[in-house]
Structure 1
Amino acid sequence: MKKQHFLYFLLFFALGYGQKKTLQTKFISEKITLDGKLDETIWQTVPIATDFVMFQPDNGKVVPQNKRTEVRVLYDNEAIYIGALMYDDEPNKILREINKRDEFGTADFFGVFINGYNDGQQNFQFFVNAADGQADCLATDNNGEDYSWDAVWDSKAVITDFGWVVEMRIPYAALRFSSESKQTWGVNFFREIRRDRQKYSWNLIDTKIGTFTQQNGTIDGIENIKTPTRLFFLPYASFYTYANANQKTYGELKGGLDIKYGINDAFTLDAMLIPDFGQTKYDDRILNLSPFEQQFNENRGFFTEGTDLFSKGNLFYSRRIGGPPSYHPETQANEEIIENPTTVDLYNATKISGRTKSGLGIGYLNAVTQKTYATIKDTITQQTRRVLVEPLTNYNVLVFDQRFHKNSSVTLINTNVTRNGSFRDGNVSALVWDLNTAKNTYNLSGNFKYSYINEIEDKKSGINSLLSFSKTSGKYRYYGETNMITKGFDNNDLGINFETNYYSFYGNTSYRILNPTKIFNSFNTNINAYTQFQKETGKLQSDQINLNINSTTKKNHYIGFGLEYRPVETYNYYEPRTEGRYSIDPTRFGSWFSLSTNYNNKFAIDFNPTIAFLNESKRTSYGIFLSPRYRFNDHLALNYAFNFFRQNNNKGYVDSGSNNDDLPPDTIIYANRNVINYTNSLNGKYSINSKMNFNLSARYYWSYTENKSFYELENNGRLTPYDNYTDNKNQNLITWNLDVSYNWWFAPGSQLTILYRSNAAKYDNLINKDFGNNYTSLLNNEDLSHVLSISLKYFIDYNQVKNVF
């Protein structure tokens, strides 16, 4: 027995902890048919990548022989080909839920990670699941996996009597690499056996090291490839039918064109001409009581795909482009606004991105939005006039990112917004660094940002700087940072920033298990502490500490728990909405719990209650998130989510003398209020096959604030009763959104989408607590709109059509 243990140790060391594995490939001239059979003779002439080791949960454990994986790689002048055999001793138990693109579902999957520069910084990842579905993403250690990136490639997965087989064809257009005659790529192969919740990789991904992309093996033998012209067109046409209670049904035809051109093997130009965002996912609006704007996710493909360079330094918030107008129209006596656009139309947008063989990444993004006007009517004369609320505007982002030592980088970023005429311009520059030791044990990172705002009557500048140091490997890890933002820092023309004029300190320490125990597959606990001081006065703005525990049981159920504590009163300089004024936030103690059962089961549930107590009379908050899901079969699944959150005796801003002429100029009014939020959502899918899906997404949101009494904010930050205030400052927001869609990927990169959408919103200060009545009145609201749209996008490869012309 001891001898067996010793041999197992030698095998484990050789396979898991030896040098990086290398796989040899070869050039082919014959045609490969993607049928999941690997029956072309050429497949048998190249070496096999095998001897996979476990990534999770038992890191480094050798894969059983009866579940081994064998991978072969070939290439020609157009693409790289991957053939993979996934052995399984019980093929009938292979999970194969069908899902739409980029969603794995409950299914086994195989993936290949490719780094054409072999610089350990970024992987192009391609996945195929056992239901023949595709997913792809860009992966970096800093930003994780970005599934908004979509490439055009082809694959086929087939279940067999010994397991399952995958064939993949990945065109060079989907990758980035140097132009050298002899290539060495970083590569890794990945497999998940879903029913066991076990993940394996060809080259060991050691979880003791806090990096993923730097643990690839290599592939040799790619030589003298003559890549074809990378020129692709994506023309699209859409037809929309609109209807609501205020107008007749009418139709609208739209069309446009996207172009992708490979300037060389490393750099790509993307251009969007005549954009159409009509089928973009709706925004989840909330009743926002904070002094800051609500931040929305980006759902437009052009601004999400391949934008990892532009996210450096966190200066780029793409929703600024084509978002709400910058200026609100001013009205005179007896005037009213009869038309005020909520968005600004986009003329066009282009981006260039890529990386040289020396590791220099260059990114350039430019977008132009058109003039936008509001319409104002004189209620006496009935005459109307137009007011410019957004001039012709140019948005620009420029990035230089130098990688070195395969794990570090220094980046220079500039964002610029230029508005035509006498309007505000904004310019922000940043230096960002991310430095790691040779063994990826320690990290030193930070940034220095400078903003300059140019307005006709005002110019201002500011600084935002951050420095952090961390231990990034092993069971015990720690992190510390300090951050300072001056009062004048403003990157909100093309970025988003909430708090300024402070300096802060943050630190955490954590412990994790690296291999399963008798109770847990994974376990992690961390302690975090944060303090923030107002820069000019030194007053404490934030002070909190929290403890979190996250774990996965042997049956793959997630269980988490946390405590958070604010031990002292803090000064809030943001809630009063007036420079130099502050209110005092009380001490606070809170807790949360989270349970997520194994999604492999047909029925699973997510459960997350929270509660907090504040050191004021009867001031509490509590909530619950409950989300059951059921998978009827491999085609049909539904997921319902209910989210409730309530704040009792919350204190917050409602009015001030600067906004209300009936109040003294320096008066600030707070309300003692209850704030209640309900969110109900339903998501479902029916997949005919991996390329044809029906999807349902519905959300009903209701939130209201009920003011019970009013206070005046004193200069010392305390609140005193203010009985003379009688305005109704209750707020009530109800929204409804429904999307029902049919998607058919009828060819690589080509898609037909039919979408029905209805939405409505109601905002007022009248609260009706009858849940059912609120719902029906919203659906009967005159603002309820219906849109039926059909959109066709067709991917054209220049190399396939050039002979036609």
Structure 2
Amino acid sequence: MSRGWWLRSVVIGVTGALPLVTPLRAQSTHDGRAGQTEVAIPRFEDQITIDGRLDEAPWSRAARLTGFSQFNPTDGRPALDSTEALVWYGPEAIYFAVRAFAPAGTVRGTLADRDRIQNDDHVQFILDTFNDRRQAYVFAVNPLGVQSDGIRTEGGGGGPGRGRGGGGGGGGGGGGGGGFSRATLGNADLNQDLIWQSKGEITEWGYQVELRIPYKSLRFRATEPRSWGLNVVRVTQRNNYQDTWTVTKRGLSSFLVQSGRLVGLRDLNRGLVLDVTPVVTSSLSGTPDDVTTQWRYGELSQAGADVRWGVTPSLTMNATINPDFSQVEADVGQIPGDVRFAVNFPELRPFFVEGNEQIDTPNQLVYTRRIVQPVAASKLTGKVGRFDLGVLSAIDNATYSANGSDQPLHNIVRLRRDVGTQSNIGFTVTDRREGGDFNHVLNTDGRFVIRDLYQASYQVAHGQTRSGATTHDGSIWEMSVDRTGRSWGFRNSIEGVSPGFVSRSGFVPRTDYAQGSMSQRYTWFGARGARVEQMTFFGSWSGTWAYRDFFERDRPLEHRTALFSSAQLRGGWNVNLTVAREGFGFLPSQYERYYVERRSGGVITDTAKYTPTGRVPGRQLQFRVSTPQFRTFGLSAGTTIGQDAEFLEGSQARRFDYNASLDLRPTPQLRASLILLHQGFRRVRDGSTILQTDIPRLRVEYQLSRAIFFRFVGQYEARERDAYRDPTTEDAILFRSDNGTFTRSTASRTNRLRADWLFSYFPSPGRVLYLGYGASLEEPEAFRFQQVQRTRDGFFVKFSWLYRVP
């Protein structure tokens, strides 16, 4: 009897306690290769520690994403290495993790600076919070949890534009070197920094990472329930492979449209989104006195503030007063491929970078570096329904006006509407006023995707400019058609910029021309593990006319026929080869100020208007090879040789260029990069040098921790240019000024060295302490380092601390 009572007591006790135990939710698995890409992710109230270990309860119940497929070099195949992603969400943040399996000793991971993990193994979470398949956040981490983040936009700003994805034939929206959409970080704008947490660790079986992304850092629709697009990308450096969770086809016009979906997200608590960032800067800069050569230093200190306010879940207002837009290192030196045109430097300033994708306009009709040193600025960006909106206003410092007294006022409005599932139409208005002068530009552009394979784009813009008593106007236009097939693609385009077009809010380096181009692409895919894993061939033709000549059906002023080939070899090696045949003519209008001395018996007897020579032929060979990212280094080098047009004198020249970049990672904390650039033009007629540029750049960083690093950047620019001569008579060329006087062309030589040292404490975006010193130096003979003279130097301190209102 006593034994039965004991058994009944145990049964009653256990069954009575069952309702008090929270049932464990089974972990759901979603295989990307099986098409299981719609995921109802679980919601947990748990607060966890982001430590990279994945040993807390929610991870055992999170949605599990498996079945990754290869994307590069060959799409559609099962991934070589196994990858498992985990995802769940809570009331204030969404959580991701990855377990990436790899052979022992093959993982590449360093304690890199933020946004500089492209040479490491890494995983990307591409999160489309509006589920519109047009823009997405990119959150990437390397095996040690170092972050990289930004925005990926399909279609390069909503239409055509130089440097956009798909250039060269058959490229798709969203980027596409070689005519494909790509999964690399290079297809995202990484200049924007968001606040989120991540950790990672390398294990004996590969590596694992853990992320927490707060909703305060995201924009998304206000309506519930929400669906977000998601793809997970894994990049492996030992073989240059890219894998994706969903089966992603390279030949389609969009990468984002092939994402999976997270469905059923509810009750996402952003709270009050208000970030206030006070900024204090102080600098001490000096130059030598022209007479006494003694150094004179001047001190400048200023305080400012940035404010970010989440007006709604989908709209953000930014404002800044007296901002600090100083740079902590010089821009990377560039050599223009064509000396007639200015070079473009990227926007790196935080105020302009955030939300920049909302005002981005094809052909760079919005180039925010035209706003040099604003006194105050504000910006509203986001999405309302099917409309993307960007409004920017800024008052610039009078120092950067034409007369030095009026403050330039900039206003930019960009509106883009979604059409269908992948297409859009955009409108942009830019206005710059300076006293009584102004420049207005009105633009419309569009991108239309047809059957996921074809893409048609257009852009038309008209500008009006008043400068003093003169008013003129002009237009820019472009149309293109792409096919983005897996093995075969093409791109045909036509564009033009009239002589009077000016965009003082944009970057349009060339006017008075029209250009047509055609290209065809064929891609061959090798077997897995083959010596050649992929080969791509491009055949292209382009012709360039003077703007009016194009409509009069004259022969093109310039033409180019080229065959480009690219091979990805086993182990991650890449080899590119291009052969091109060109022809160039010279517009007399570009040499209106050129005159020639006429001599008799060694004495100047007269001056005559200079007339450039006729057409000159050109032939070029370009070659490039890139190694895989080995554990301690990666190398890329290329060269261009042949005959080219030389536009300074309007003649033919022999051209020899080379460039090389070497990345060294001897330890996880220490890294160095060396870039070498050389360009040389020699006259065909006598072999003399008319133009030569050499730019070596060294960057060395030591990462003491994820938040602290020391950096040195040294850059040397040696530029040499000969005096211009008439190619026919070898007489000296003169330049005629507006008052009728003449100045003889003379040779010039500059050898400038810039050195920057920096200590950085950067625990999170908006919270930073910089201590730096920079110096500019010159010497008479290039690379002698014997008579180096310091011409300018300066110390600076910058402190900012973002306060996020709870």
| TM-score, with structure 2 as normaliser | 0.82
Contact kept? 1:543, 1:570, Cα under 8 Å: no
Q: Which amino acid aligns with 1:309?
A: Q
Give 1:758's match in structure 2, choosing from 775, 782, 785. 775
How far is 1:192 from its partner?
A: 2.5
- When residues 569 and 259 of structure 1 are mapped into structure 2, their CA distance, relative to the original with a 3 A threshold, is closer
Residue 780 of structure 1: aligned partner: 789
Q: Which amino acid aligns with 2:674?
A: Y
Residue 315 of structure 2: aligned partner: 267
The alignment status of 1:459 with 2:471, answered yes or no, reads yes
The alignment status of 1:405 with 2:435, answered yes or no, reads no
Distance in 2 (CA, whole Å) between partners of 1:97 and 1:432 is 42
How far is 1:569 from its partner?
A: 4.7
Q: Which amino acid aligns with 2:587?
A: N
Residue 148 of structure 2: aligned partner: 135
The alignment status of 1:55 with 2:71, answered yes or no, reads yes
Structure 1: 5+ residue stretches without partners = 1-13, 323-344, 375-386, 652-670, 712-718, 763-767, 800-805
The alignment status of 1:236 with 2:279, answered yes or no, reads yes
How far is 1:250 from its partner?
A: 4.8
How far is 1:197 from its partner?
A: 2.9
Residue 759 of structure 2: aligned partner: 742
How far is 1:618 from its partner?
A: 8.1
Residue 365 of structure 2: aligned partner: 315
Q: Which amino acid aligns with 1:740?
A: W
The alignment status of 1:372 with 2:399, answered yes or no, reads yes
- 1:151-170 matches, within 5 Å, as 151-170=194-213
Distance in 1 (CA, whole Å) between partners of 2:55 and 2:335 is 59
Cα shift readout 1:167-215 (whole Å, capped 9, x = no counterpart) = 2111112222110120011011222233343322211221122321211
Residue 605 of structure 1: aligned partner: 635
* SS state at 2:312 partner: coil
Q: Which amino acid aligns with 1:72?
A: L
Contact kept? 2:228, 2:262, Cα under 8 Å: yes
* SS state at 1:42 partner: helix
Q: Which amino acid aligns with 1:495?
A: G
How far is 1:45 from its partner?
A: 2.6
- 1:593-632 matches, within 5 Å, as 593-613=623-643, 619-632=653-666
- 1:784-803 matches, within 5 Å, as 785-799=792-806
Q: Which amino acid aligns with 1:536?
A: R
How far is 1:692 from its partner?
A: 2.2
Contact kept? 2:35, 2:246, Cα under 8 Å: no
Distance in 1 (CA, whole Å) between partners of 2:804 and 2:560 is 55
Distance in 1 (CA, whole Å) between partners of 2:335 and 2:134 is 40
The alignment status of 1:85 with 2:92, answered yes or no, reads no
Contact kept? 1:132, 1:690, Cα under 8 Å: no
Contact kept? 1:572, 1:585, Cα under 8 Å: no
- 1:382-397 matches, within 5 Å, as 388-397=403-412
Contact kept? 1:75, 1:81, Cα under 8 Å: yes
Contact kept? 1:317, 1:495, Cα under 8 Å: yes
Residue 634 of structure 1: aligned partner: 668
Residue 162 of structure 2: aligned partner: none
Q: Which amino acid aligns with 2:453?
A: T
Residue 74 of structure 1: aligned partner: 88
Distance in 2 (CA, whole Å) between partners of 1:88 and 1:293 is 46
Q: Which amino acid aligns with 2:407?
A: L
Q: Which amino acid aligns with 1:644?
A: H
Q: Which amino acid aligns with 1:597?
A: T
How far is 1:757 from its partner?
A: 1.3
Residue 665 of structure 1: aligned partner: none
The alignment status of 1:149 with 2:149, answered yes or no, reads no
Contact kept? 2:193, 2:765, Cα under 8 Å: no
Contact kept? 1:436, 1:442, Cα under 8 Å: yes
Residue 524 of structure 2: aligned partner: 513
- When residues 786 and 468 of structure 1 are mapped into structure 2, their CA distance, relative to the original with a 3 A threshold, is same
Q: Which amino acid aligns with 1:508?
A: S
* SS state at 1:302 partner: helix
Cα shift readout 1:120-147 (whole Å, capped 9, x = no counterpart) = 1111010111122000011123233101
* SS state at 2:109 partner: coil
Cα shift readout 1:547-576 (whole Å, capped 9, x = no counterpart) = 11122210212211111111x452335641
Contact kept? 1:467, 1:483, Cα under 8 Å: yes
* SS state at 1:413 partner: strand
How far is 1:402 from its partner?
A: 0.7
* SS state at 2:238 partner: helix
- When residues 639 and 355 of structure 1 are mapped into structure 2, their CA distance, relative to the original with a 3 A threshold, is same
Distance in 1 (CA, whole Å) between partners of 2:303 and 2:70 is 49
Distance in 1 (CA, whole Å) between partners of 2:40 and 2:591 is 65
Cα shift readout 1:246-279 (whole Å, capped 9, x = no counterpart) = 3344543332211111010001111121111233
Distance in 1 (CA, whole Å) between partners of 2:611 and 2:34 is 59
Residue 325 of structure 1: aligned partner: none
Residue 496 of structure 1: aligned partner: 507
The alignment status of 1:733 with 2:754, answered yes or no, reads no
* SS state at 2:59 partner: helix
Contact kept? 1:464, 1:486, Cα under 8 Å: yes
How far is 1:291 from its partner?
A: 4.5
- When residues 171 and 581 of structure 1 are mapped into structure 2, their CA distance, relative to the original with a 3 A threshold, is farther
Cα shift readout 1:445-469 (whole Å, capped 9, x = no counterpart) = 0111111113442222222111111
| TM-score, with structure 1 as normaliser | 0.82
- When residues 390 and 249 of structure 1 are mapped into structure 2, their CA distance, relative to the original with a 3 A threshold, is closer
* SS state at 1:536 partner: helix
Distance in 2 (CA, whole Å) between partners of 1:238 and 1:747 is 18
- When residues 744 and 390 of structure 1 are mapped into structure 2, their CA distance, relative to the original with a 3 A threshold, is same
Contact kept? 1:241, 1:250, Cα under 8 Å: yes
- 1:154-303 matches, within 5 Å, as 154-246=197-289, 247-284=295-332, 290-303=339-352
Distance in 1 (CA, whole Å) between partners of 2:765 and 2:334 is 37
How far is 1:391 from its partner?
A: 1.2
Residue 496 of structure 2: aligned partner: 484
* SS state at 2:60 partner: helix
Distance in 2 (CA, whole Å) between partners of 1:436 and 1:706 is 50
How far is 1:542 from its partner?
A: 1.4
How far is 1:104 from its partner?
A: 0.9
- 1:524-563 matches, within 5 Å, as 524-537=536-549, 538=554, 540-563=556-579
Contact kept? 2:70, 2:244, Cα under 8 Å: yes
Distance in 2 (CA, whole Å) between partners of 1:672 and 1:164 is 57
Q: Which amino acid aligns with 2:111?
A: I
RMSD: 2.9
Give 1:31's match in structure 2, choosing from 27, 36, 47. 47
Distance in 2 (CA, whole Å) between partners of 1:690 and 1:146 is 22
* SS state at 1:48 partner: strand
Structure 2: 5+ residue stretches without partners = 1-29, 157-186, 290-294, 595-608, 735-742
- When residues 481 and 237 of structure 1 are mapped into structure 2, their CA distance, relative to the original with a 3 A threshold, is same
Distance in 1 (CA, whole Å) between partners of 2:509 and 2:770 is 37
Contact kept? 1:574, 1:582, Cα under 8 Å: no
* SS state at 1:555 partner: coil
Give 2:127's match in structure 1, choosing from 114, 117, 136. 114
- When residues 363 and 570 of structure 1 are mapped into structure 2, their CA distance, relative to the original with a 3 A threshold, is same
Contact kept? 2:62, 2:86, Cα under 8 Å: yes
- 1:570-609 matches, within 5 Å, as 570-572=585-587, 575-577=590-592, 583=612, 584-609=614-639
Distance in 1 (CA, whole Å) between partners of 2:418 and 2:120 is 36
Contact kept? 1:672, 1:707, Cα under 8 Å: no
Task: Please identify, of 297-306 and 46-55, the stretch whose mean Cα deviation from structure 2 is larger.
Answer: 297-306
Q: Which amino acid aligns with 1:264?
A: T
* SS state at 2:351 partner: helix
Contact kept? 1:57, 1:516, Cα under 8 Å: no
- When residues 225 and 724 of structure 1 are mapped into structure 2, their CA distance, relative to the original with a 3 A threshold, is closer
Contact kept? 2:678, 2:695, Cα under 8 Å: yes
Q: Which amino acid aligns with 1:118?
A: N
Distance in 2 (CA, whole Å) between partners of 1:260 and 1:362 is 16
Distance in 2 (CA, whole Å) between partners of 1:533 and 1:724 is 26
